[in-house]
Amino acid sequence: DTGVSQDPRHKITKRGQNVTFRCDPISEHNRLYWYRQTLGQGPEFLTYFQNEAQLEKSRLLSDRFSAERPKGSFSTLEIQRTEQGDSAMYLCASSSGAANQPQHFGDGTRLSIL
Amino acid sequence: QQQVKQSPQSLIVQKGGISIINCAYENTAFDYFPWYQQFPGKGPALLIAIRPDVSEKKEGRFTISFNKSAKQFSLHIMDSQPGDSATYFCAASRGGNKLVFGAGTILRVKS
């Protein structure tokens, strides 16, 4: 059973650079979620997709953030002009989309801004 | 805004003891309450979940107790083991949508 896969696991970049993360959900799952987790805190919701449609975006998702899920399979999260405050763990989760089905998380991408 | 409040922030329990973590929520529209376990460098892993029409759910050594009128729920870990040392998060959602997480509890089980 292949779980949620995220790439890269770690990303170190200079302030002002653009970064892109990839998430491959569990194959039969049609819902895909992005969360952000800072040290000592619980994950915070960023956005989610039902198939290829982006259905909700958090106010945390500024104009510098964009997410896509072409063809309803993998998803990418891009951050443009990175800032120090973007340093965090970016987590992806997927679920089947049926009511109250569990969300399964990947191991995240840790972003460090120099 | 913090819609799910979790306590305590950290907890030390002797091996074989009972670990108890509490959460309180504000939004009465929440209808799904999972608990996640997270080890350093890993993503959260689902432990157990409950719906508000049930007052208690048990899976192995893990039990959720749910008090709908008080808007509170708790995780009990029986016979706690050193391997249970991790960070635990409660969460809540409405209609299977986005999860709202508590701030987490760092559990250390002393052998």
Per residue in B55-90, pLDDT (tens digit) is 999 999 999 999 999 999 999 999 999 999 999 999
With CA atoms as reference, report the closest residue to B33 among B56, B2, B8, B9: B56
- Residue B6 with chain A: CB contacts under 8 Å: 42
Cβ–Cβ of A43/B98 closer than 8 Å?
Answer: no
- The pLDDT value recorded for residue A100 is 74
> C-alpha angle A92/A78/A41, rounded to 5°?
45
E strands present in A17-87: 19-24, 31-37, 44-50, 53-57, 65-68, 75-79
What is the maximum span of chain A, computed from C-alpha positions, in angstroms?
41
Give the pLDDT score at B96. Answer: 75
Cβ-nearest to A42 among B43, B89, B95: B89
pLDDT in tens, A51-97: 999 999 999 888 999 999 998 899 999 999 999 999 999 999 999 97
Distance CA A61, CA A45 (A): 9
Instruction: Test A105 with B51 for CB contact under 8 angstroms.
Output: no
| CA–CA distance, A26 with A97 (Å, rounded to integer) | 12
Torsion of CA B75, B80, B81, B85, to 10 degrees: 40
Task: Name which of A4, A44, A102 is nearest B34 (Cβ-Cβ).
Answer: A102
Which of B27, B9, B19, B34 has the alpha carbon at shortest distance from B101?
B34
Whether B43 sits inside 8 A of A105 (CB atoms) is: yes
Query: With contacts defined as CB-CB under 8 Å, which chain A residues touch B91?
Result: 42
CA dist A29 and A65 (Å) reads 24
B52-83 exposure pattern, b = at least 16 Cβ within 10 A, e = fewer: beeeebeeeebbbbbeeeebebbbbbeebeee
pLDDT tens digits, one per residue of B14-65:
999 999 999 999 999 999 999 999 999 999 999 999 999 999 999 999 999 9
What is the count of residue pairs from A and B with beta carbons less than 8 Å apart? 61
Contact of B48 with chain A, judged by CB distance below 8 Å, is answered with no
CA-closest candidate to residue B41, choices B87, B94, B81? B87
How much is the pLDDT for A72?
A: 86
With a pLDDT cut of 90, the percent of chain A lying above it is: 87
